[in-house]
Chain A
Amino acid sequence: MSIFVTRDTRLVVQGITGRDGSFHTRQMMEYGTRVVAGVTPGKGGQRFDDTVPVFDTVAAAVEATGANASVLYVPPGLAAGAIAEAVDAGIALVVCITEGIPTVDMVRVMPFVRERGARLIGPNCPGVISPGQAKVGIIPGNICAPGRVGLVSRSGTLTYEVVHHLTRNGIGQSTCVGIGGDPVIGTNFIDCLAAFEADPDTDAIVMMGEIGGTDEQQAAAYVKDRVTKPVVGFIAGQTAPKGRRMGHAGAIISGSSGTAEEKMAAFRDHGIAVMARPVDVVELIRPHLG
């Protein structure tokens, strides 16, 4: 079954004719994702690679194709508007890859997303992959394998590093979710933990956090109260200086809050095994798998 993305995902790609959008649409289709439509305003009526119909609006794409999920490869200044458009068209799952969206735009669009009951993943994230079923976003399919470990992470290539260790050691994944490195994101650790806890195809969970904010601390408390499945955690940024943005807009230690030490202590205090190195994921997760 896995979470968020399955064989039944019918995907519309917003920004399908752009450089990134077209490249990743081909990658997603090659992986087996059902890309049913694309949207680029002004290019409605065309076909992408002679196969995928392109529409001017998400609403038109949904009406014609029954799309139930969207992925955005849209420039940062237009992205929040494109999220709202997808939600307004009734899309239930919106995955926003775009990096660099102004934070006030996200602050303004989030209440709209919540009011309509849609799930936004990202922005500034690599997307979601349920190995062997479908991928929505940019996570490389070749490093993943189907299996029973759920993974949720705030970063991109660090996620790939850990997934790679798992796959190379014969440990497959139910779903890998990149929730994004921005301060304001649609889906947080707790949302993913709840979904993995409810997913009969997930036996254990890997949580990859980083410095900045308190999402990991709250997730740790949630794990103790509500999650029965074993959870293994990692925090990037133990050597990061205070007050500096470490690449991700959200990866910043403000005052003395949001440090790696604080987050790792919260993990330990709430029964989450902490990986000292990315490679440790294998030895920590293996005992929990049948």
Chain B
Amino acid sequence: MNLHEYQARALLRAAGIPMLDGDVATTPAEAESLARRLGGKGVVKAQVHAGGRGKAGGVKLAAGPAEAADHASRILGMTIKGLVVGKVLVVPAAEIASEAYVGLILDRETQQPVFMVSPAGGVDIEEVAARTPEKIRRLAVDPRYGLLPHQAMSLAFFLYDDFAKVRAAARIMEQLYQVFMANGATLAEINPLATTPEGKVLALDAKVVLDDNELDRRPDLADLRDESAEAPSEVEARRAGLTFIKLDGNVGCVVNGAGLAMATMDLVKYYGGEPANFLDIGGSSNPEKVVNALRIITRDPNVKAILFNIFGGITRTDDVANGIVTAMREFDVTVPVVIRLTGTNEAEALRILQAAGMPALNDMDEAVKQVVARAREAA
């Protein structure tokens, strides 16, 4: 789960990482009074889950409170990469002497948190890595011992020559590691880590991505989710216990299992169609899940046909067939539906569906070919 900058700042601040004061505003008047409180001159920053918000006009420098209100009125409600801005962060404008990068990611290969630091901050770190890899230093942290003091110092010496700044940066890295582990992050990044002309080291921007698996046991973190930043269909699916991702095609897919769901989308494409979604209904044969899945899929006007692809391993396919029959009675589906069921009790499942006037297939390729053809006819 991506956090907004203001939420990430709150986690970093709680760990003691130095940063400028600042707060969020949802109206121009709030932005104005915030700017006044912060000393007049300030930066108004769109809070949106999209990179490149500066280029999109979502970050503006204001010379005084009136201009802050003016910027806020333009940025609030603005659409950046399809997402509407509902909040702005207002921070004082800082004089900056240098910008560095400090990031911590979960590295799948070493299965450890890995620091990435660079004296070339304030820009996209992937570009720095591609163009000037010598300006990046990496360090894997052994989770048994945490970030050791000398490791933090060696990273900080790569950023600064001045010893006071080195010490300040090393402390910030230790604090960032604490934030990462204590909140189950998969990414925690300060870009830029800035120095002021007086020699202070400050986090000017923060980005944190949390592990979704952490949220069940951390309601405080789960509360940080901003559902206005997500597609409504995906919010509805999550509440219904389904994993759903909307795509641009016209063949709706209802599948059990994530791997099979991806392979089904790929096969739709292979046979010349375009998948409308990824949807994993899991191992359950619960009719309610099927109804919810159908409701979410059919709300998309692009969907011209729907494919069920169910492999009954432990799940009995006759149970799933009964679930589909119940759901189709309860929910009026106007687009053609193709059902593929195979596995445990397959013969009985096919009989149940046949009796309900819903012929089904047991071959995945055959079913995908059919649904692609039906979608094409209806388009």
Contact = CB atoms under 8 A, between A and B. Distances in A.
Contacts of B344: 140, 142
Interface stretch (A9-17, A221-229, A235-243): A235-243
Contacts of A246: 245, 258, 261-262, 278
Contacts, number: 156
B373 interface: no
Interface in A126-174: 138-140, 142-143, 153-161, 164
A24 B106 CA distance: 33
B311 A161 contact: yes
User: How large, as a class, is the contact surface on chain A?
Assistant: 35 or more
Interface in A248-290: 248-251, 255, 260, 276-279
A116 interface: no
A278 B211 contact: no
A259 B3 CA distance: 25
Contacts of A53: none
Contact of B263 (A248, A255, A278): A278
Given A103-B186, A140-B343, A245-B212, A155 B109 contact: no
A159 B213 CA distance: 24
A244 interface: yes
Contact of B314 (A138, A164, A276): A138
Contacts of A103: 106, 184, 186, 211, 213-214
Contact of B245 (A76, A161, A241, A250): A241
B347 interface: no
A102 B214 contact: yes
A240 B261 CA distance: 10
A222 B315 CA distance: 36
Interface residues of B, number: 48
A102 B263 contact: no
Contacts of B260: 155-158, 160-161
Interface in B245-269: 245, 247, 255-263, 265-269
B247 A241 contact: yes
B243 A214 contact: no
Contact of B108 (A27, A104, A183): A183
Interface in A173-216: 181, 183-184, 208, 210-211, 213-215
A249 B212 contact: yes
A278 B268 CA distance: 13
B266 A236 contact: yes
Contacts of A37: none
A157 B313 CA distance: 7
Interface in A54-99: 76-77
Contacts of A231: none
B258 A107 contact: no
A91 to B, nearest CB: 20
A42 interface: no
Contact of B214 (A104, A108, A142, A276): A104
A118 interface: no
B329 interface: no
Interface string B171-189: 0000000000100101000
B143 interface: yes
A45 interface: no
A215 B109 CA distance: 8
A250 B265 CA distance: 18
B364 A210 contact: no
Interface in B105-119: 106, 108-109, 111-113
Nearest to A236: B262
Interface string B133-173: 00000000011100000000000000000000000000000
A107 B314 contact: no
Contacts of A106: 111
B108 A155 contact: no
B365 to A, nearest CB: 6
Contacts of A237: 262, 266
B191 interface: no
B314 A100 contact: no
A77 B259 contact: no
A244 B343 contact: no
Contact of A247 (B181, B186, B258, B365): B258
5 contacts: A77-B216, A108-B144, A156-B260, A244-B278, A246-B262
Lowest 10 A-B CB distances belong to which pairs?
A155-B259, A247-B258, A157-B257, A158-B259, A140-B313, A236-B262, A157-B260, A158-B260, A237-B262, A239-B265
